[in-house]
Structure 1
Amino acid sequence: MVRFPPILRRWMTLLVIVFVVLFVGSRIIVVMNSPSLYYYDEEEIQEGLWDGLLQLIQYNEEREESAPLANEISSYRSLQWSLIQSRKVEALSLTEDEQTIQIHLPGWDFTEYANPPEEQIDNTKEEFTFSDETRATKLPKMKYPVQNRFPIIIWWTPFTGHKHIVRQCGHGRCLFSHNRELKDHTKTRALMWYGTDLKFKDLPLPRQSKHDWALLHEESPKNNWPIVHKPIISLFNHTCTFRRESSYPITLQYLPSMEYLTAPLLFDVLEKNRFISEQGLAPVLYVQSDCDVPSDRDRYVKKLMEYIKVDSLGKCLHNKDLPDEYVDPLTMDKEGFHKIIAKYKFTVSFENAVCNDYITEKLWRTLSLGSLPIYMGSPSVQDWMPTTKALILANDYPTVEALANYIKFLDENDDEYEQYFDFKNPGKITNSLLKNTMKSRTWGVDDIEQENFIDGFECHVCDRVFEELLADAKRQKPPTFQANDSHYGCPRPQPAVPGMKMDNSLRSWVEEFDTRSAVIAKATQQMVKSGANSSRVLNDFIKKVFSEMKSNNFDHNHYENELVS
């Protein structure tokens, strides 16, 4: 037997100890930083967690081009977290409504796993691999036990970070999934869309009578005009939009809190006057980089510049540079950018489209920072203002020159100017609609202690699904949920400056509204109602609608005289 010298044996022993310590320490760190695999009893591992996780990856990352794995590890952990949270919710006691449905409706059992579908997807085929082809991994055959227990609601346009999660809502639990393969599952009761991503050649057809359709769109129609037309919006049962008439309204989506609105002025009127005289600031600020929009705001501001000095710091009508660190639009929430706005006495706060209740951060941020908004956008904006005197409405003035003259008057009369910020003082907000809406809303803005309106809308749809199931269970007439054009409708674009002829940009928006989007809306409605098996036939219905329009002597250029610049 070979014996090493004592000094060598001591060094070898030390190296072994160091190696063991490093190995154990690294494993402890990994475990501490990994999501727990236990949700109730540390002795009970979550049965089916990994099965569901692998199945999710297969369905959502390999078969769905609309939801690729941007980052495999983070997506994997997100899926794992969703499943863990789902198992916690699964373990909750049945709600009263779940018990009623379970007793009276055959096929519904919220307490036990039902038998998995007889046909299981064979994941051992070559095509079922991770999106990273260099690390392709064949997946074993798995199943979804959870999908047989709860009402299923599918995001047809994946919009949340939780690709497969069970949520506890007011009436009971629903499974929210990005998995389109569940479309024909017996438990699927609703499908959801995010408006920007809604594609009319990608609809789940034929539409099943038991399927509710839900639309979430907090933006203006600028990026998907057909939605504004009645034939499209009427296809939906549940809506979450800026309109107060929608089934889950989010009109105040850009107002975080009343405290945000009443935040103290960063600079008083005397300091703002000094910025004008010493730093050469204009009285009026305009910061927009989204140019030539449907509201026609750029042409209005260009006309305003003929009568009063305006600093335009964005790409639109640019005449003054921002500091380099704030050129990127993503920096607009930074404190330094906010201080730039707060220095100006007035800020042009025009929306990109004119729709009732469409009120964005362009207005709320300006009010919060203490720059007086010059506003054009929602015709109903005064319904939501803290007082009757909190902004300047451009449409209140017959001409741009008249507006400019009033701005000059306020610029020269500090006492009159300061009255517009009276709402900043304690107890001075007089608008009960604003106060009551903010007090009663169940979601928050940038508040980790509250759910956001996306989560809230998910539960809104889930609760309505339960209302329908409960009506069936009690042999009652089911509730009718039907959207209409008041849930989203916006008027035809028109020149922002009264009497001004349309330019090429505005003409294209009007043509989009009057012709293309209107035809798509009508054709889509006809396609869905016809019972078509695929939305790929949309072009056939578009041709049919155009043919009907021609037979009715429709003149594609019926407003040609109006379009001449």
Structure 2
Amino acid sequence: MLRWRLWRLFWYVALLLSVLLIAMLCYTPSFHCLTQEPLENPRHRPVVVLIWLWPFNKTFELDLCSSLFNIHDCILTADRDFTDKADAVLIHHRDIAWDKSNLPQGPRPPHQKWIWMNFESPSNTVQIPGLDNLFNVSLSYRTDADISVPYGALVQAEDIEDFVPSKKDKLVCWIVSNYRLHHKRMQYYKELQKYVKVHVYGDLFERHVSKQEYKDIISSCKFYLSFENSVHKDYITEKLFNALDLGAVPIVFGPARKNYERFVPGDSFIHVDDFPSIRALAKHLFLLHHREALYLRYFRWRRHFHVMTTFFPGENACRACEYLQQNRQYQVLKDLYQWFWDTSEGLDLPLSFY
């Protein structure tokens, strides 16, 4: 009996000590244990991204991640005093010197990642020597980049409603500034001009158009030539998304139709490859011009989606910060050239939109 009483007394003392210990470590009324919350959690501290080279020497506001893209705990800076402290250095390919003399020259901190950013097509990207094994993260329009930021996207609409395009007074329009006779898109344009009038605007045709004129022109046309300057995997630029957003049906020249269908519904655009000849394409345009019901089918997607275009380069920097918050592992881009300049399609099946 005495042994049992001593054993029970031992458990009472142990229980009392446990309660006292909890009281020391926790506080009321939430019973939030201080030992569970270190004063500084390195995995949740703000991520610092240093903009080393302003893309095309174009500056942007550095405090936009939270307000515009709902990406928090990001510090963007262009102050090179943060070179040793930054979690990542964002470097725009087009602005790298051929001898790399304008890149950071000192020893790289062990925790720091260099981000290679490029939104030009491979045909318009100079292969600067010595970039393999230099960068850790790729940031591009490509869907297989570490950080993929396409030129635009369709976003689910909150309400479903029919879309009625604005009144049109032109059939086909094209705004072009990068005019090169050897571009294949020029051959398509010249051939199409034989069968249908194309209203052409831009630096080398009439004059430079302002942002507002750009919107007004596209909105006034039934069809818009969303012709890319080169054909590469995923290289689908604002030329497509602006036309969709402004109520014109895009006529696209670029990668294969199935590549476009990874970004937008297949019945939202016309691909030049859909026709055996440019003459057949022109005939189809006249058919749609006279058959309003057929033309309006190209806007059925507007009942479900609206267009979002990428805010370059500010959004790209914010997406880089978001990526770093979720990916702490270290890697090196050993075959940057081989990956980006690969001309193979390597496409998956189209996405489902409806």
In 1, Cα distance between equivalents of 2:203 and 2:143: 33
Question: 1:217: which partner in 2?
Answer: 118
2:192 to 290, 293, 304: 304
In 1, Cα distance between equivalents of 2:94 and 2:134: 16
In 2, Cα distance between equivalents of 1:194 and 1:371: 32
Q: 1:410-460: per-residue Cα shift (whole Å, max 9, x none)?
A: 334333222222223x34x6xxxxx9xx9xxxx9856xxxx8332231342
Query: Are 2:272 and 1:384 equivalent residues in the alignment?
Result: no
Q: Is the 8 A contact 2:175 2:201 kept in 1?
A: yes
In 2, Cα distance between equivalents of 1:394 and 1:197: 34
In 1, Cα distance between equivalents of 2:47 and 2:189: 51
Question: 2:78: which partner in 1?
Answer: 178
In 1, Cα distance between equivalents of 2:181 and 2:132: 23
Report how far residue 250 of structure 1 moved: 0.8
Q: What SS does the aligned partner of 1:312 have?
A: strand
Q: What SS does the aligned partner of 1:199 have?
A: coil
In 2, Cα distance between equivalents of 1:208 and 1:259: 45
Question: 2:273: which partner in 1?
Answer: 395
In 1, Cα distance between equivalents of 2:37 and 2:149: 28
Q: 1:127-174: per-residue Cα shift (whole Å, max 9, x none)?
A: xxxxxxxxxxxxxxxxxxxxxxx8865333145556899x9xx9x967
Task: Say how many residue pairs are matched.
Answer: 294
1:157 to 45, 50, 53: 53
Question: 2:239: which partner in 1?
Answer: 362
Q: CA 1:156–1:414 in 2, change beyond 3 Å: closer, same or farther?
A: same
Query: Are 2:283 and 1:405 equivalent residues in the alignment?
Result: yes
Q: CA 1:98–1:376 in 2, change beyond 3 Å: closer, same or farther?
A: farther
Which one is further off, 172-181 or 345-354? 172-181
Q: CA 1:206–1:313 in 2, change beyond 3 Å: closer, same or farther?
A: same
In 1, Cα distance between equivalents of 2:122 and 2:39: 38
Query: Are 2:188 and 1:287 equivalent residues in the alignment?
Result: no
Question: 2:227: which partner in 1?
Answer: 350
Q: CA 1:234–1:407 in 2, change beyond 3 Å: closer, same or farther?
A: farther
In 2, Cα distance between equivalents of 1:398 and 1:407: 14
Q: Is the 8 A contact 2:47 2:321 kept in 1?
A: no
Residue identity opposite 1:198 in structure 2: I
Residue identity opposite 1:243 in structure 2: R
In 2, Cα distance between equivalents of 1:161 and 1:400: 42
Residue identity opposite 1:265 in structure 2: V
Residue identity opposite 2:200 in structure 1: S
Which one is further off, 173-182 or 405-414? 173-182
The structure in which a higher percent of residues are helix is: 1
Question: 1:536: which partner in 2?
Answer: none
Write out aligned runs for 1:505-544 (5 A): none
Write out aligned runs for 1:111-130 (5 A): none
Q: Is the 8 A contact 1:266 1:339 kept in 2?
A: no
RMSD in angstroms over aligned alpha carbons? 4.4
Question: 1:87: which partner in 2?
Answer: none
Residue identity opposite 1:409 in structure 2: L
Q: CA 1:164–1:349 in 2, change beyond 3 Å: closer, same or farther?
A: closer
In 1, Cα distance between equivalents of 2:228 and 2:164: 24
Residue identity opposite 1:383 in structure 2: R
Q: Is the 8 A contact 1:262 1:368 kept in 2?
A: no
Q: What SS does the aligned partner of 1:308 have?
A: coil
The structure in which a higher percent of residues are strand is: 2
The gaps in structure 2 that reach 5 residues or longer are 1-35, 345-354
1:99 to 41, 45, 55: 41
Q: CA 1:402–1:188 in 2, change beyond 3 Å: closer, same or farther?
A: same
Q: What SS does the aligned partner of 2:127 have?
A: helix
TM-score, normalised with respect to structure 2: 0.65
Q: 1:375-414: per-residue Cα shift (whole Å, max 9, x none)?
A: 012331121113x211111123333233223323333433
Q: CA 1:452–1:356 in 2, change beyond 3 Å: closer, same or farther?
A: same
Q: Is the 8 A contact 2:233 2:343 kept in 1?
A: no
Question: 2:93: which partner in 1?
Answer: 195
In 1, Cα distance between equivalents of 2:247 and 2:186: 23
Residue identity opposite 1:366 in structure 2: A
The gaps in structure 1 that reach 5 residues or longer are 1-93, 103-109, 111-149, 276-280, 322-326, 430-434, 469-478, 493-565
Q: CA 1:198–1:375 in 2, change beyond 3 Å: closer, same or farther?
A: same
Write out aligned runs for 1:127-138 (5 A): none
Q: Is the 8 A contact 1:193 1:216 kept in 2?
A: yes
Residue identity opposite 2:295 in structure 1: Y
Q: What SS does the aligned partner of 2:147 have?
A: coil
Indicate the percent of aligned positions where both proteins have the same amino acid: 22
Question: 2:104: which partner in 1?
Answer: 204
